[in-house]
Amino acid sequence: MTSESRYIDRELSWLEFNQRVLDEAACLENLPLERLRFLAITGSNLDEFFMVRVGGLQQLSASQGSSADPAGLTPDEQLAAISDRTHRMARHQYALLAEIESLLAEAGLIRVHPEDLVERQTRHLEEVFSNEVYGVLTPIAVYRDEPFPPLPGLSLAVCVRLDPPADAPDRQSRFAVIPFGRNVARFITLPAEGGYHYLLLEDAVRVHVDRFFPGEKVAECVPFRITLNADLALREDQASDLLSHMREVLDARKASDCARLEIAAEASEETLGFLTSKLEVEDRDVYRLPGPIDLAAFFRLADARGFDKLRDEPWPPQPSTAIDTGESIFETLAHGDVLLYHPYESFEPVVRMVEEAAVDPDVLAIKQTLYRTSRDSPIVAALAKAAENGKNVTAVVELKARFDEARNMAWAENLERAGVQVVYGVKGFKTHAKACVVVRREPHGIQRYCHFGTGNYNEATARVYSDASLLTSDEDLCADAVAFFNAITGYSQPQTFRKLDAAPIGLREKLMELIEGETERSRQGQKARISAKLNSLVDPDIINALYAASQAGVKIRLNIRGICCLRPGVKGLSENVRVVSIIDRFLEHARIVYFRHGGDERVFLSSADWMPRNLDRRIELLVPVETPALRKRLLHILGTYLKDNVKSRELNPGGTYKQLHPTERHPAYRSQDELYREVVGAVRAAEQSRRTAFEPHLPEPTGA
């Protein structure tokens, strides 16, 4: 096998991940609005893929970059392969949209086309257009000899082609664009006898486009959307003011090159040619779409009220049986560590830990990393309150969290005004670790409490992302956490930790040591096993170490949700490696790693995927879980995923995935369903235990 064929191309592997999401949109066992949601996810995923990955490859291509990636493809070869794959994917997306819309229409959720408007709907549309649309939208003339007007990326617009005036000497069509912006509703509700009828904004504009051009003859009005390259580097070495330079990067995105042009399939060659020429878009980056542009917009429709029968029954997060809501979270942790597995178990204890610390008079300090949070984050509010209450509060805010930069800058400034010491990450690295430390004065002295997580401090995404949280008062872990914060907020050298390992120094080496340890034990005839649940596996050194382990006989079982550049099942290379990916109602995001370690089993939670960026260019943490009961639970969770034969796909050596199916020997087993039922069962058992416990009612003590 050649060195190049040892690896699957990263970009093509990501596209196969998006295909697995699209397969859920195609799954007939999923209810219609859930299928629509999966379809919207594929649209949103592709938007970011083109902004970042394709935009970056286009920059490499334009700079004559010809070096091949580990899979042996040059930027131009990757762009050609991506174009072919995404055009096929787009055809699949829009075939599914037509199918799903037909099912929704049968249930009364109907997209009305302009030609199907009845008189009452026509009158209503005229009123809405006059009051809410016409005065907001602004047409912009586009001249052939002048630059194209700047349009916001991923914002829908229509291109209007006007017939030339009778006395025009060149008899050339004229063009204008009408950008929609983000403050006009995409879905216009129409009156109907029952159900929900709606018209798309672009259809409403097409019906009334003449009003924007009185006295002109409109020859054509077609929707289009541009995707701008968002892969713009932040040169921290030239930025004395990181906050100011970050704003410059965001402004630069608005004027960056066009990475993709999406346009209605019915667009004329004249209009298409005009847009591609003005935007300087290559043919391979043009997508003629036979349906509504911007599938991500259909998230809103997937949440339509009154159609609960068309979506899954909710799985609300359950309270952890390890936490007594009647006592302080610090009292609970004084008795032992707590493991939470979200979203099956509520994220509320993590929020409560910070909120309690903010008002607890015995708490002296809070240190917290913040990568992505919700819009009205209770954790951010608690940190501000803690500072206002006189506590020493430090927040390590990552301004370079892609596409959340503007939000992070806004609430970072709010935190500063409240008195929080805000540190904008570490120069040259993204701070991706998830950690919080609370320092508390107690009768026996200073006590520290920590939270380590695999997901962000975002209570909203914690309801749909699968993540793990470790709450602990372990002396070594808490000492390491304090040393970690001191290292990234000051000028100190990277620390030697007691138990933690951190990237960019130490974590890669630790993983290689653990993998090579299993390899050596297997060569000596001992049992050896590696199991990991990750979002992505890309790093060539880690992959090569896993190949060597497989060749030594180590059993390797990997649950990789997204990108996997390792080829499993190749004779003489990786026949002992099995890779599965699970796509279900919750986004798999937890990172759990296991090594048999000669019977002294090692289990870790991690903020890092096995990618060069995580191991070399980010601040990450690898956290050991040592409490036997918690370690056992994590191993059970890993095993549950590996038994899935309903929502699991297995990676084959060629880079494609095979859907697994139940058999007579292996009945249907859906991991997310099993995990939720286990948590619900534990809560019910705890409630039953409390109801059946006899507590004597003692008489009130009498006075002497």
Residue 3, CA distances (Å) to 68, 72, 550 in order: 12, 8, 17
Pair 671, 644: CB distance under 8 Å:
yes
Tokens linked to 310? 């068309």
- Measured distance CA(211)–CA(19) in Å, rounded: 42
Residue with tokens 């970056």: 56
Amino acid found at 632 = K
- E strand or H helix at 193: none
Q: Is 697 a catalytic residue?
A: no
Residue 534, CA distances (Å) to 455, 467, 576, 609 in order: 12, 11, 18, 6
- Measured distance CA(529)–CA(549) in Å, rounded: 9
- Measured distance CA(602)–CA(593) in Å, rounded: 8
| Sign of the C-alpha dihedral computed for residues 349, 352, 357 and 361 taken in this order | negative
Q: Bridge-partner residues for 221, per DSSP?
A: 160
| Triad 13, 18, 20: Cα angle to 5° | 95
Tokens linked to 314? 């909710």
- Measured distance CA(327)–CA(643) in Å, rounded: 37
Pair 135, 329: CB distance under 8 Å:
no
Strand bridging mode 258-264 / 286-289: parallel
- Measured distance CA(640)–CA(638) in Å, rounded: 5
Residue with tokens 């991923």: 154
Sequence-separated contacts (24+) of 121-128 with Cβ below 8 Å: 121/190, 121/191, 121/192, 121/197, 121/199, 124/190, 124/191, 125/188, 125/190, 125/199, 125/204, 125/207, 126/208, 128/188, 128/204
Pair 421, 395: CB distance under 8 Å:
yes
Q: What is the DSSP letter of 578?
A: E
Q: 654 burial class (0-12, 13-18, 19+ CB within 10 angstroms)? A: exposed
Tokens linked to 279? 């935007």
- Measured distance CA(519)–CA(528) in Å, rounded: 7
Closest alpha carbon to 338 in 688, 640, 634: 634
- DSSP string computed for 398-443: -TTSTT-HHHHHHHHHHHHHHT-EEE--BTTBEE---EEEEEEEET
- Measured distance CA(281)–CA(295) in Å, rounded: 21
Q: Bridge-partner residues for 157, per DSSP?
A: 179, 224
Tokens linked to 36? 């629509």
Catalytic residue from among 197, 432, 451, 589: 432
Letter string b/e over residues 295-324, b meaning 16 or more CB atoms within 10 A of that residue's CB: bbbbeebbebeebeebbeeebebbbbebbe
Catalytic residues: 432
